[in-house]
Structure 1
Amino acid sequence: MRKPELSTPDLTARIEAMIIAGSLAPGDRLPAERQLAAEMGASRSKLREAIKQLASRGVVISRQGGGTYVAAPEEVEPVRAVFQSLAPLARNEAGYWRDVMEIRKSLEGDVAAFAAMRADAEDIARISTACDAVGKALLATDPQDAPLTPAKLDVRFHMAIAQAAKNAVLYQIMTGLETLLASSMADSLTHLYRLRAVPAQLDAQHRRIMSAITAGQSDAARTAAIEHLLFVESQLENIERDAARQKRSSHALQHINPMKEKQS
């Protein structure tokens, strides 16, 4: 039986997912219209409309002489630029991760639930591939290494779920948050890697989310996604408290030692 033709929003989301995943990098030319339409199982008219929508948002640009290209970072839409400007705060401001976690908890439970209700076979395959990739990176990476690769793969996993949710508004918000999420995840993993059992726990949590989506269990998917974020949040809070306690202890010792020297 012939597969149903993709809608314009689905095409828009799929092209954008290719950009997020790195299949199409900034400056790359999109494949020829006929080729891209055939690969995606869509009519050329709907593909043109999808590309027009992406161009209106600054995700792709048309250049004189022919061809459509992925926009360079300085050419992206203002909304994404705003999120990108927040990324240094997510990395460097003490406690800013709490704001990031708050918005993630608000969004990602529903994203996972919608994915469980709407994911097709291609979506499931994409989520599974992304889950395997981030799991392998989490379990193989030395805790002392900067976890940029797992962080990028983690974003890819969450964006695969967002694509499967098939909600254009949620997807665009998640796309705008991409850089902020990457910064947040990298920072989280830097701290969480100090706890040896955590990478395996994160991998297991990702797989619970994926299993619920695969089984079409929306409530279970929502619960698994939120529990995952609550776990990350609780671990970061513990790390933050331990760091504060260590700082107080070190500060106290600095005051005690000079007093001992005077007494001697």
Structure 2
Amino acid sequence: MALTDEAIGKIKAMILAGELAPGSRLPKEEILAGQLGLSRNSLREAVRALTAMHILITRQGDGTYVSSLEPHLLLESLSFAADVSQGHTALQLLQVRRLLEPQATGLAASLLKEEDLRELRNILKRSRAVATVEEFVAHDIAFHLRIVEAVGNPVLSMLLQVLSTRTQRVRIVRGSQTSHALNNAHEDHEQILSALQSRDALLAAAAATVHITAVEQWLATSLTDNPTQAIDD
């Protein structure tokens, strides 16, 4: 593994130095291995690992290329990690969401257009008419992502999309197990939207913090009461 890590480091260094630009084709295996002082086996393992991270892409019969290195590609690795998160790992993801999303919600207060606010209202109306917790969580995700998109930062939007959609199992379980959870969530959403309509950034950030913290605290309490129990679908 140490040799593979060394090979990965050397290829990354070439990309960072601009020797391999986004979209460029890697030299042939034997040439690149010689340039980097690596065995061909180590180079192959490194290419496989970097391909899994979407830093490189392999085109059958054409060679290996540096990807576009767009954030949405590079965050796919985080998406997978979040997909399989349970227990304390899921709690850590919720903590990161709490650190980022309220600030984004506050920023959105001055950026949302009237049509955006109308769409947010429509999402909340639809969320009150759902028949299942799963449907509610889908609208919950749409509500928050629409707010974050107003900030206009694709990296932030993608990161919060990963954190929001990949922690939905926790919200579904909470909604199923806690009778008042959905009512509280509806009220939280109304508070967030009201603050956004008033263009009050501080109040919007505070309302988002309260909303996200409720799920985080529920999971923390569940893990304390049942430390060996994972939160699954």
TM-score range (shorter-chain normalised) is 0.5 to 0.7
Aligned length: 161
| Counterpart selection for 2:99 from 94, 97, 106 | 106
| Counterpart selection for 1:236 from 219, 227, 231 | 219
Corresponding residue for residue 53 of structure 1: none
Corresponding residue for residue 227 of structure 1: 210
Secondary structure in 2 aligned to 1:154? Answer: helix
Q: Structure 1 pair 190/217, CA: closer, same or farther in 2 (3 Å)?
A: same
Secondary structure in 1 aligned to 2:186? Answer: helix
1:1-264 pair list within 5 angstroms: 77-90=72-85, 93-137=86-130, 140-141=131-132, 147-164=133-150, 166-168=151-153, 171-244=154-227
Q: Are 1:86 and 1:180, in contact at CA under 8 Å, matched by a contact in 2? A: no
CA distance in 2, matches of 1:122, 1:136: 21
Secondary structure in 1 aligned to 2:166? Answer: helix
Q: Are 1:202 and 1:228, in contact at CA under 8 Å, matched by a contact in 2? A: yes
* Structure 1 alignment gaps of length 5 or more: 1-57, 59-75, 142-146, 247-264
Q: Which amino acid aligns with 1:105?
A: R
CA distance in 2, matches of 1:245, 1:209: 35
Identity %: 19
Residues 102-150 of structure 1, C-alpha deviations (whole Å, 9 max, x = no match): 211111111111111121111111221222223433xx42xxxxx4332
Q: Which amino acid aligns with 1:232?
A: V
CA distance in 1, matches of 2:83, 2:149: 26
**Alpha-carbon deviation of 1:77?**
4.5
CA distance in 2, matches of 1:210, 1:86: 31
TM-score, L = length of structure 2? 0.61
Q: Are 1:191 and 1:239, in contact at CA under 8 Å, matched by a contact in 2? A: no
**Alpha-carbon deviation of 1:237?**
2.0
CA distance in 1, matches of 2:166, 2:96: 14
CA distance in 2, matches of 1:110, 1:135: 26
**Alpha-carbon deviation of 1:211?**
0.7
CA distance in 2, matches of 1:86, 1:152: 20
Q: Which amino acid aligns with 1:225?
A: A
Which 4+ stretches in 1 moved above 6 angstroms? none
Residues 200-220 of structure 1, C-alpha deviations (whole Å, 9 max, x = no match): 001100110011001111110
What is the aligned-residue RMSD (CA, Å)? 2.6
CA distance in 2, matches of 1:132, 1:242: 35
Corresponding residue for residue 13 of structure 2: none
Secondary structure in 2 aligned to 1:95? Answer: helix
* Structure 2 alignment gaps of length 5 or more: 1-53, 55-70
Q: Are 1:154 and 1:185, in contact at CA under 8 Å, matched by a contact in 2? A: no
Corresponding residue for residue 33 of structure 1: none
Secondary structure in 2 aligned to 1:223? Answer: helix
CA distance in 2, matches of 1:163, 1:96: 26
